[in-house]
Homo-oligomer: A and B are copies of this chain.
């Protein structure tokens, strides 16, 4: 059966998996992981060039921008102003007006500051950005982000880099039901079954970084995630069987020999 395409702000993506570019042992490994993941959108951070001591090689040398769409993010920003300023710099440095908007509220949890996030979304949308805000699994915050013009909402499954998996499946399901824009689970995935579950809950996509970059074998995990996203999406549209407390035979009850 055919699935609907994965479209954000009018742009269609082949893969429902979006990956990061951080924490890899090397850019070469990152490039292989990206290849294995099948992702056609990756997120990058915007940072000051290191003047004193600069490595020659640039991150972009390892990303085939003809195939992979670059999504600048505002990771590390703790206020709407910082995030807005960083978003503008990212647009200037990059090739598009898209931004993964992060306004962090706390260093230990890296949870979003939803008030500032909603305000920054409003401003950046006015400034012509396609805004993909990283938020928490709060249906009300997601609705306000949508009202503010967000092109998608990106609720977390668990704290960034925690690998805990989807902590609140009910909220993700509710957010999917109440939203009119794509829902992308961003952060918290630890392993393949977490990613599959996110898709089974109805998520339109999943964004992850640490689960792949931090695995013992990042390239193998990237491939695992590629398959997990496909599996979860197919299972969602295939329509799973209901859960029952007792058993139901898979084989005919009659015709057993000697009965």
Contacts and interface: CB of A to CB of B under 8 A. Distances in A.
Contacts of A162: 243-248
Given A46-B257, A178-B106, A211 B240 contact: yes
Interface in A219-259: 219-221, 223-228, 230-235, 237-258
A56 interface: no
Interface string A101-131: 0000110111111110010000000000000
A14 interface: no
A254 to B, nearest CB: 8
A11 interface: no
Of the listed residues A89, A136, A191, A193, the one surrounded by the most CB atoms of chain B closer than 10 A to its CB is: A193
A144 to B, nearest CB: 7
B106 A48 contact: no
A165 B231 CA distance: 16
Given A86-B257, A228-B227, A238-B221, A170 B158 contact: yes
A169 to B, nearest CB: 8
Contact of A237 (B105, B169, B214, B217): B217
Contact of A196 (B110, B192, B233): B192
Given A89-B257, A178-B106, A193 B244 contact: no
Contact of A193 (B77, B200, B217): B200
Contacts of A141: 114
B251 A239 contact: no
A97 interface: no
Contacts of A240: 163, 190-191, 211, 215, 221
B114 A219 contact: no
A74 to B, nearest CB: 9
Given A47-B255, A250-B210, A1 B220 contact: yes
A247 B159 contact: yes
B111 A138 contact: yes
Interface of A: 1, 20, 22-23, 45-48, 50, 73, 75-77, 82, 85-86, 89, 105-106, 108-115, 118, 136-141, 143-144, 158-164, 167-171, 173-174, 178, 190-197, 200, 209-211, 213-221, 223-228, 230-235, 237-258
